[in-house]
Chain A
Amino acid sequence: MDNTVGPSEMIVHLGPQHPMMPGPFRLNAKLRGETVVDSEVEMGYIHKGIEKILESKTYLQGITIVDRICYLAALTNEEAYVGCVEKLAGIEVPQRAQYIRVIMEELSRIQSHLLGMGEYASFVGFVSMFMYTIKEREDVMSIMDSVTGARVTHSFLRFGGVKDDLPEGLKEDVKHVFANLRKAIDSYEDMYSTDTIYKGRTVGIGVLQAEAAKDIGVSGPPLRATGVAFDIRKAEPYLVYKDLDFKVCTQTAGDVFARVQVRLDEMRESMYIIEQCLDQIPNGPLFPEGTAYGRRSPVMRVPAGEVFHRVEDPRGEMGFYMVSDGSDKPYRVKIRGPVYPTLQTLPPLLKGVNVADIVAIAGSMDTCTSEVDR
């Protein structure tokens, strides 16, 4: 961005600490009157150097580190990391463990969307919505807590399987929670689609066209809101997703309203996936039999090689590129987060909008700065 200001122009810095910013990044917006002329994003306020840290940790220790890339998607981050090691070391995950992973990852998608959507509603001034969604999210978190033993950073996946089996009575709990959640989601949709102020703030705002979105590398709900049915679970199925019936939720408008609608639909789809999993889940071992892999992971060396493994995060395509040199620590890990390209689209998307819409558009991307900075 050119920092010189002309007549009746000014530069406004939003963030890094601002109650209405989705995470600590700074947005420098050049305004002419109420209109944004140009803007730039400044990153690095919570750069943790996770890629460097992973190079000095053993493979098992890395699981707890990748949890902390983004606390809302801890389980999918683990899946991407563990999947890389499993591909390199040639470990087959047993069916039951794969189903448990799918259940947990879909639950984490639901809780992430509930928080992202509720937080987003409060960005546009609909603060009560946050209270509604956080209440339902608590129930989902309790289910996850009962399986993994943690609420946020789970460290639940192990190489070749999962740490614990599902507890007894989970199916009834899930049934009970989902019955409430379905009603709640219907009521959110009802509120969103009838509230004229909310619609005035969101319909037709921040429109991203399908071709432009593909060109700038967006993935996840912002891309699906433009009508492109791109989902890693369908495009490149991992775990047991190819045995499950689900559809990729899309909208065509590409505006802020459509992105929120995609998240609402995805939560319904995730619930459907979890119910199928709970019906279909076979009995069996949690770890491959006849190998050393178990609840206590062995001290392991991973064969030299390179692998790229990607999964569908709540926010889009999460990929890990791992280079192994045959030792007990990864040689290099690259984390390809979904929000990184999404946040990059803000400057072109914000050109020409009103100041009041900056937060509406930035929030609708459901950005997680922790993941962009890593």
Chain B
Amino acid sequence: MDAKTMIDSLSSQFTGTIYDVSVESDIRIIAKVKPENVKDICRYLKDKLSFGHLCCEFAVDYPNRNEIEVVYVIGSYDHPVVLTLKAILPRDNPEIESVVPVYWNANWYERETYELFGVKYLNHPDLRPLVLPREMLGEWPLRKDYKGFPNKTARNLV
């Protein structure tokens, strides 16, 4: 199964929820999805198209467009196609359904995205900070308008 048939199968199954599909090469697809359907699409990808390997999940901040993109990079153990799904969230209140029930290893990726970008994952089993100390929660250091660097990081040393 090549990239083209996969994307056809996906768009016929989820009409209207997948848009802006671009096939970059034989093994790379980028598509945008509606945030509320991400979990269903991931379930379909895993069960029907053997996309069983979540490479990573992270966010990109676009202050100019007032948007945060949550990006899912999903690969497979059986075929070389890597699918990039993007869900666009409003920057003031980014909330999205967690995909942990589908991809178990999304747990830490979502915890990290939460503490670094402030994306709230609904129904996540354990949404705690992973790499940052608790008192830095709410500063969202990987957003583009974060001004704390480097003063905040040296705070504890003085």
Contacts and interface: CB of A to CB of B under 8 A. Distances in A.
Interface string B73-96: 100010010101000000000000
Contacts, number: 70
A52 B149 contact: yes
Contact of B73 (A215, A235, A321, A331): A321
Interface stretch (B10-18, B36-44, B101-109): B101-109
Contact of B104 (A217, A230, A323): A217
A317 interface: yes
Interface residues of B, number: 32
A43 B131 contact: yes
B27 A216 contact: no
Interface in A219-277: 219, 228, 230, 235-236
A217 B74 CA distance: 11
A214 B73 contact: no
A344 interface: yes
B71 interface: yes
A51 B132 CA distance: 14
B55 A228 contact: no
B35 interface: no
Given A44-B133, A332-B60, A215 B80 contact: no
Interface residues of A, number: 30
Given A52-B142, A230-B77, A321-B58, A47 B132 contact: yes
10 contacts: A49-B141, A52-B149, A214-B52, A216-B104, A216-B105, A321-B71, A321-B73, A321-B84, A323-B60, A336-B73
Given A47-B132, A321-B84, 18 more contacts: A43-B131, A44-B129, A44-B131, A44-B133, A47-B131, A49-B141, A51-B142, A52-B141, A52-B142, A214-B53, A215-B52, A216-B104, A217-B103, A310-B82, A317-B55, A321-B58, A334-B58, A341-B108
What 8 A-B pairs have minimum CB-CB distances, sorted nearest first?
A217-B105, A44-B131, A336-B56, A47-B131, A341-B105, A334-B58, A236-B80, A332-B60
Interface of A: 43-44, 47, 49, 51-52, 214-217, 219, 228, 230, 235-236, 306, 308, 310, 317, 319, 321, 323, 331-332, 334, 336, 340-341, 344, 373
Interface of B: 27-28, 30, 52-56, 58, 60-61, 71, 73, 77, 80, 82, 84, 103-105, 107-109, 129-133, 141-142, 149, 153
